[in-house]
Amino acid sequence: MTTPVIGVLALQGDVREHLIALATADALARPVRRPEELAEVDGLVIPGGESTTISKLADLFGMREPVRERIAAGMPVYGTCAGMIMLADKILDPRSDQESFGGIDMIVRRNAFGRQNESFESAVEVAGVAGGPVEGVFIRAPWVESVGARVEVLAEHEGHIVAVRQDNALATSFHPELTGDHRLHAYFTDMVRAGR
């Protein structure tokens, strides 16, 4: 079986850490900034960072519509933190010029767990990921307020939804790429293999 090619949207955020995590999960990982680079990947990670900045840069680099189209066509996609916000069909209290890519029938609240100085780490039990809880790093993290009927809730923290999957789209409130535990990247790589 050939190695899946997985892009990391390299507009803003912790791109390098995702590239490393994907490589350890037996994917061929590469940064993606332009539509022609997006056309060459089997799946895409939308990293954490600042969702309003990612939204603006997606327009600046001509990436908004190509990413939306690939997601709508079934390309596997994984969003962490700000990436989760970018995959939400609806954002609570978005900035006026902020638009998501969509792809998951959920409503997300930005910065729900608090400000930067309220960041924390916690063990999170994620359905479908073997080997016990994953260590979640929550940095100005969102949570999911509600999901549609087709969305599978994979994890909760203190009663709030922090990991979801809808078909080929996966999202977590937290940053697994910052922990050295790359099981979620392996889970996503398997999703990409299955989607090819």
Any idea which residues carry the catalytic annotation? Answer: 81, 175, 177
Residues in the chain: 196
Tokens 């490589």: give the residue.
23
Residues 35 and 122: their CA atoms lie apart, in Å, by: 36
Which residues face 183 on adjacent strands?
none
Alpha-helix runs per DSSP H in 88-132: none
What the block records as the tokens of 103 is 């792809």
Which whole-number Å values give the CA distances from 96 to 46, 89, 100, 106, 161, in the listed order?
Answer: 21, 16, 12, 19, 25
